[in-house]
Amino acid sequence: MCGIVGAIGNIAIAKYLLKGLQRLEYRGYDSAGIALMDKLGDIHVTKVAGKIANLIPLVDQSVEAVSGIGHTRWATHGPANTENAHPHLSASGRFAIVHNGVIDNYKELKERYLSDVEFLSDTDTEVVANLIDRFVSDNKEDELEGLRKALRLLEGSYALGIIDRKHPERLYAAKEKSPLLVGVADEGHIICSDAMAGISVTKAYLLIQDGDLAILTADDVRIENLSGEVVEREMQRFDEEDSDLDKGLYPYYMLKEIEEQPSVLRHITSLYQEGLEDLPQVLKELEKAETIYMVASGTSYHASCLAKRWFEQILNKRVEAHIASEFTYEMPVISQKPFFIFLSQSGETADSRHALVKVKAAGYPSLTITNVKGSTLAREASYSLPLLAGREVAVASTKAYIAQLAVMAYLVYALKGELPDLLKGLKQVEVAMERLLSQKEAIRDVVKENLLDTRNAFYIGRGLDYLTAMENALKLKEISYLQVESFAAGELKHGTIALIEDGTPVIAIVTQAHLAKQTRSNLEEVRARGGRSLTISSSDLALEGDTVVVDAVPMRLRPFLSVVVGQLIAYYTALEKGYNVDQPRNLAKSVTVE
Ligand code: M6R
């Protein structure tokens, strides 16, 4: 994954790099570093294991930088230590580079071209730095061709920022499969993995594409392909404000994002009713499709599973939900008239993108529903619709999930011709959600009593409640590090019940009237074996002793509420355990490696 930044020109370089990296920390936070080029052509590298906060005090702010690059890492090759942190210098010290992506053939390249080089790290990136140095040095007549030659040899994915001691007036950026933008500022240029990193400097970005090499100076940008031909790229504005990204008085982004959910629902319903560019065409495509394939990862996959049920139950439409990383390599039999939907908060998930590439190659129509305008998946699908959740920063996805449910419900009810029913139902959900959030401290008490003294827990449910259980279990395990599994309540007795011991917490979700009795009897089976039973129920199905009772909104929309209970359970468990809620270990927000 990783995030990269770079800048050249009359910009406060070190300040931008550090602030930009903080904005990109959601992409990885194992280690961080920057390289500053001074006007004499000296490169000053500072890097450290851990977060940007560890890096900031070490950076020599007195360096008068003319350009610079920076990196925040999610380790793929070698442990998260200072040696493996980026930027990496070539052995001669001429080039410094930062890299997001994975070079699949780095070992072959190392053996074939760099057997005489002594490497200081375990990374594929250091190989790239030396490969560039070798090819540029061997092509003194046409150094740019040397650089292009090195890039042409790379297999895999990369977004690269490169500075060269011999050309302090230049900053190179190259992209293949990993996201990268070139920002145009008043007196200079920047590069970044995500516009969020650069918003304090510019809102105007050139959308460079796979196979591009950008040569940036203080007052010019030239973009070429790897054959050296100049290419034109579209300019896009990103209108986010710096203040949109602050967590204000909230201790963590996750809590802020959980609390924003009622307003996210309002925003979606009002903007979708006003009309969106691709919406009419998308509805036509959905109507004529014989089978809809939903492809996604993690939380977005869970939202796809729920949407599948709505399509089937409300429209009698055949839908398959697939995990992107599985779909890519073992495609199911595809029906005659398929339509593909890619749900992705970030729009950059490598597994989903890989699946989309295959779908496009097969000539099938596709739709990306994403929270990030201009993201790779949004650009590459036939159609795109926005999630409109506002920037989600916490690694654990909350409001984007709610937005995915809302957008999918909108499509289903619009096709059914019953939008007024949905809008009325979502109004009730909004009110109920506000009420639930105002009582969130009660959920903290539930957590303190039941989840702090255990190493594992289970979520169970049937029907839509099972699909919510899947999402709630992921949320809890992701940030509290408890071993949490979700099960279809009726399935527990077919094996997993063997794991229930004295005091094992089992949280049952009971919001579906036709399944409530069965789920409750499965919970009884757990209790009989010593399990600690907890229940999230709807008020019309509640029994005395239920742990959390949410308002009874229309049956099919109840997951909107039971998932918020799960989010709060996860949040308070991690908080009470003293973990960094927004940046759980081993994870990153945007998963751009396969
Ligand atoms: O950006 P995407 O929606 O494509 O991301 C997919 C998953 O990586 C993501 O949902 C992940 O599971 C979340 N961290 C879960 O909270």
**pLDDT by residue (tens digit) across 348-371?**
999 999 999 999 999 999 999 999
For residue 480, the CA-to-ligand 1 centroid distance in Å is 16
Torsion of CA 525, 554, 568, 348, to 10 degrees: 110
The residue type of 301 is Y
- CA-nearest of 374, 373, 376 to 349 is 376
343 Cβ neighbours under 8 A, 6+ residues apart: 294, 296, 300, 301, 303, 304, 307, 369, 370, 404, 408
For residue 345, the CA-to-ligand 1 centroid distance in Å is 7
Looking at ligand 1, which atom is closest to the CA of residue 591? 8
- Average pLDDT, whole number, for the chain? 94
* Mean pLDDT of all residues in 500-508: 94
Question: Are 346 and 589 a contacting pair, CB within 8 Å?
Answer: yes
Structure tokens at 205: 């970005």
pLDDT tens-place string over residues 441-496: 999 999 999 999 999 999 999 999 999 999 999 999 999 999 999 999 999 889 88
Across 60-64, 331-335, 412-416, which has the greatest mean pLDDT? Answer: 412-416
Question: Are 483 and 581 a contacting pair, CB within 8 Å?
Answer: no
For residue 299, the CA-to-ligand 1 centroid distance in Å is 5
Pocket test for ligand 1, best of 393, 475, 564, 591 (most atoms within 8 A of CB): 591
Phi, psi of 96 (to 5 degrees): -120, 135
* Mean pLDDT of all residues in 157-182: 95
* Mean pLDDT of all residues in 180-202: 93
Question: Are 164 and 195 a contacting pair, CB within 8 Å?
Answer: no
What is the number of residues in the chain? 594
Q: Is it the case that residue 430 has pLDDT exceeding 90?
A: yes
So where are the chain's domains? 3-243, 250-433, 439-581
Q: Do domains 3-243 and 439-581 have the same CATH topology?
A: no
Enumerate the active-site residues. Answer: 2, 589
Q: Is 573 helix (H, G, I), strand (E, B) or coil?
A: helix
- Please calculate the CA angle 318-324-325 and round it to the nearest 5 degrees: 140
The model carries a pTM of: 0.79
Looking at ligand 1, which atom is closest to the CA of residue 349? 4
For residue 478, the CA-to-ligand 1 centroid distance in Å is 11
Confidence of residue 248 (pLDDT cuts 50, 70, 90): confident
| CATH superfamily of domain region 250-433 | Glucose-6-phosphate isomerase like protein; domain 1 (3.40.50.10490)
Confidence of residue 243 (pLDDT cuts 50, 70, 90): low
pLDDT of residue 128: 98
The residue type of 449 is E
Exposure of 277 in the CB half-sphere (CA atoms within 13 A) = 7
Confidence of residue 242 (pLDDT cuts 50, 70, 90): low
pLDDT > 70 in the chain, percent: 99
Looking at ligand 1, which atom is closest to the CA of residue 346? 1
Pocket test for ligand 1, best of 26, 74, 299, 407 (most atoms within 8 A of CB): 299
Pocket test for ligand 1, best of 346, 380, 582 (most atoms within 8 A of CB): 346
| Residue nearest (by alpha carbon) to ligand 1 atom 10 | 299
Tokens 């990993």 belong to residue: 178
Question: Are 252 and 582 a contacting pair, CB within 8 Å?
Answer: yes
* Mean pLDDT of all residues in 283-304: 97
CA distance 345 to 242: 20
- CA-nearest of 515, 489, 505 to 547 is 505
| Residue nearest (by alpha carbon) to ligand 1 atom 4 | 344
**Burial of 209 per CB tally in 10 Å (0-12, 13-18, 19+):** middle
| Residue nearest (by alpha carbon) to ligand 1 atom 14 | 396
pLDDT of residue 495: 87
pLDDT of residue 244: 66
* Mean pLDDT of all residues in 52-78: 92
Q: Which residues line ligand 1 (CB under 6 A)?
A: 297-300, 344-346, 349, 352, 395-397, 474, 478, 590-591
CA distance 215 to 33: 22
Q: Is it the case that residue 293 has pLDDT exceeding 90?
A: yes
CA distance 40 to 51: 30
Q: Is 46 helix (H, G, I), strand (E, B) or coil?
A: strand
| CATH superfamily of domain region 3-243 | Aminohydrolase, N-terminal nucleophile (Ntn) domain (3.60.20.10)
For residue 293, the CA-to-ligand 1 centroid distance in Å is 18
Confidence of residue 199 (pLDDT cuts 50, 70, 90): confident
Q: Which residues of 116-132 are buried (b: 16+ CB within 10 A; e: fewer)?
A: ebeeebebbbbbbbbbb
pLDDT tens-place string over residues 86-138: 999 999 999 999 999 999 999 999 999 999 999 999 999 999 999 999 999 99
CA distance 26 to 1: 10
- CA-nearest of 409, 298, 424, 293 to 358 is 293
For residue 589, the CA-to-ligand 1 centroid distance in Å is 7
| Residue nearest (by alpha carbon) to ligand 1 atom 8 | 298
Q: How many CB atoms lie within 10 A of CB 140?
A: 8
For residue 99, the CA-to-ligand 1 centroid distance in Å is 22
* Mean pLDDT of all residues in 14-28: 91
Going through 115-260 in order, the beta strands assigned E by DSSP cover 158-164, 171-176, 181-185, 188-192, 204-206, 212-216, 221-225, 235-237
Question: Are 526 and 492 a contacting pair, CB within 8 Å?
Answer: yes
pLDDT of residue 593: 72
The fold adopted by the segment(s) 439-581 is Rossmann fold (3.40.50)
**Burial of 490 per CB tally in 10 Å (0-12, 13-18, 19+):** middle
Pocket test for ligand 1, best of 258, 300, 342, 387 (most atoms within 8 A of CB): 300
- Between the two ends of the chain, the Cα-to-Cα distance in Å is 9
- Using only C-alpha atoms, the chain has a radius of gyration, in whole angstroms, of 25
* Mean pLDDT of all residues in 156-172: 96
* Mean pLDDT of all residues in 501-505: 93
CA distance 290 to 281: 16
Tokens 């516009």 belong to residue: 195
Exposure of 149 in the CB half-sphere (CA atoms within 13 A) = 17
